[in-house]
Structure 1
Amino acid sequence: MSSTAVPRRRLLCGFLSATALLAAGCGQPGVVAKPPARSAEAPLALVYNGPQGCADCGPSVADLLRRAPQHYRVEYVGPGTGKPLTAAVLAEAQLYVQPGGGQDLDRTWRDLDESADAVRDWVRNGGSYLGLCFGGYLAGRDPGFGLLPGDAHGYAGTPGATVPDERDTVIEVNWRGKPRHMYFQDGPAFRLDEGSGATVLATYPDGAAAVVVAPYGKGRVGVSGPHPEADASWYDEEGLTNPDGVQPDLAYELIQATVSR
């Protein structure tokens, strides 16, 4: 698979049939990420924007964070951004976002594996990880950061799924007991360990967990299979309509749940 940027509709989550990713977790020896810094400034959110074949996935999340009620300051991290994803960089942030996007999964994980221990340490010590679609897969295991009390798996095409394949679509979820519609493209569902303490914000029609917030040490991990951050341009590009209208409230609720203690 090529890492050349192509239309977002094919790359929001990558192709999860690729299973040749290497498990990793080799951070810098002796470096332990500190809890997120607190100050009178707007909180800092780091958004991964390294090579992943989707030029607008990171910026879409950044836009959302700047408009969120918390009014985040946003900085991009990852190869090519001028800011590596290290313990020192994470120590200044409240939130780290792994967005959708990523056609070449081997390449993406190679770019992330040296930061895996730093990310785990930072979340364990009080940081907040937000993973959207592809970032939700990466919160799981093999490959992934291993931040979930359970694991992520592909939803489309599974028994009982309302989405048969990886095409872009609008999916109905049950969000805290109410039907809502969200943008979806080959996103994950989440299997959770019994007694994990995780909160399921939304489920797919078959009852599988679609949006989850879970503790990890002193920190929190928020993951979503569908795309709460999708704005009107995403729907227009694919000729899709959201019956609820395109609203950011689900994204804001997920962000708040992820950073709350």
Structure 2
Amino acid sequence: AAPGGRGAAWAGGPFRRGGGRAGPPPAALAVAAALLTASACGASPVPDGAADDAVAAADGRPLALVYRGPAACEGCPEAARELLERDGFAVRYVGPEERLRFGAGVLAGAALYVQPGGTNGQEVSTAWGLLQRDPGFSPELVRDFVRGGGRYLGLCMGGYLAGDPGYDLLPGDSGQYIHSRGATVTDEQDRLVDVAWRGRPQRMYFQDGPYFDVDGPGVDVLARYSNGRAAAVTAPYGAGRVAVSGPHPEAPADWYRDYHLPDESKTGLGLGADLLHDLMAATPSS
């Protein structure tokens, strides 16, 4: 599975925001589950979310913490990790079944927190509720981290969750692209969507992702859908910065193969690197 969904009042009325990559066939899921179970066995959790040597990026690379748990789809945290590692980050997972758990100090030393895509058809309010059920989780952990100079990357569901309901990190909010006027994708199926990235036409992996209705000082719109809605944005929050994308720049080649789509994974990863550079830069470029 991949991105996320949302049920919320927005622009004067309630609607459902859904989405997700349907995922690999059952046999592949069984193998993946066995591998995940094997890797989890014997890994003792860090109590109360306290940071330990597992958090430190001893090789000097910037540290990114990627959420992995029930509010993310199978394969989405791993795809985000691949994008980040290609760009020079050390990556650790954080979540209720991970060695690192939410709690005081877990984001200490991190440069970036990543909220990946969510499960197919999952409402944003449901994903937000699942996050809040984590005993150590608090929205203020992430808000304080970004406000103090950290960075937040939200991909599809993570883009929805940057708004409300969610972390409320955006100078505005998100909307469901497939229901926006002039949208070129109008269903929840996995598709390629046309965007203009820094003015250049591109095609990206997409599954019911958001657009962003944001404005204010320091907002940088990197990409727009063909109807003019913002598809990828960076924006300030306190001393930190937020990056969000409706399409999936991190989508690996097998996501395209699973849905018989032309493989744009190399292009997507290049756009993802551009988004990361804009997010991490001291002075983002327009």
State the TM-score bracket (shorter-chain normalisation).
0.7 to 0.9
In structure 1, the residue matched to 2:175 is 153
1:116-159 Cα distance to aligned partner (Å, 9 max, x none): 01100110000000000000000001x11000000011101321
Q: Which runs of 5+ in 1 are unaligned?
A: 1-7, 21-36
Distance 1:94 1:218, change over 3 A: same
Structural mapping, 1:224-235, within 5 Å: 224-235=245-256
Pick aligned residue for 1:209 from 230, 234, 255: 230
Instruction: Tell me the alpha carbon deviations over residues 66-89 of structure 1, each in whole angstroms, 9 at most, x when there is no partner.
Output: 122xx1111100111131223411
Q: Any gaps of 5 or more consecutive residues in structure 2?
A: 15-55
User: Letter of the aligned partner of 2:249 in structure 1?
Assistant: P
Q: Which residue of 2 aligns with 1:24?
A: none
Match of 2:4 among 14, 19, 32: 14
- Change in CA separation of 1:16 and 1:82 when aligned onto 2, cut-off 3 Å: same
Seen in structure 2, the aligned counterparts of structure 1 residues 243 and 231 have a Cα distance that, compared at 3 Å, is closer
**2:44 aligned with 1:44:** no
- Equivalent in the alignment of 2:19: none
User: 1:59, 1:13 → 2: CA distance?
Assistant: 13
Alpha-carbon displacement from aligned partner over 1:96-117 (angstroms, at most 9, x marks no partner) = 1000023364553234334201
Question: Could you say which residue in structure 1 is the equivalent of 2:141?
Answer: 118
The letter of the residue matching 1:158 is S
CA distance in 2, matches of 1:87, 1:205: 42
Matches of 1:151 and 1:253, distance apart in 2: 22
Shift of residue 63 of structure 1?
1.5
SS in 2 for 1:248: helix
Work out whether residues 52 and 108 of structure 1, in 8 Å CA contact, stay in contact via their aligned partners in 2: yes
Q: Quick check: 1:149–1:196 contact (8 Å CA) kept in 2?
A: no
Change over 3 Å in CA distance of 1:104–1:204 after alignment to 2: closer
Trace 1:102-181 onto structure 2 (pairs within 5 A): 102=119, 103=122, 105-113=124-132, 114-141=137-164, 143-181=165-203
TM-score (norm 2): 0.75
Query: Residues 140-199 of structure 1, C-alpha deviation per residue, up to 9 Å, x if partnerless?
Result: 01x110000000111013211111111110011011111011100000000013x34200
In the alignment, structure 1 residue 79 sits paired with structure 2 residue 124? no
Q: What's the % identity of the aligned pairs?
A: 50
Superposed displacement of residue 224, structure 1: 0.1
Partner secondary structure for residue 122 of structure 1: helix
Determine the structure 2 residue equivalent to 1:257.
278
1:77–1:83 CA contact under 8 A, matched in 2: yes
The structure with the largest alpha-carbon Rg is 2
Q: Deviations over 1:173-230 (max 9, x none)?
A: 011111011100000000013x342000000001000000001011000000000001
Following the alignment from structure 2 to structure 1, what is the Cα–Cα distance between the partners of residues 277 and 266? 21
Structure 1 residues 140 and 180, CA, compared in 2 at 3 Å: closer, same or farther? same
- Corresponding residue for residue 61 of structure 1: 80
Aligned mates of 2:230, 2:244 — CA distance in 1: 10
User: Taking structure 1 as reference, are residues 79 and 107 closer, same or farther at Cα in structure 2, changes over 3 Å only?
Assistant: farther
Letter of the 1:76 counterpart: Y
Q: 1:181, 1:244 within 8 Å by CA — same for their partners in 2?
A: no
Q: How many pairs does the alignment contain? A: 231
Indicate the residue corresponding to 2:29 in structure 1. none
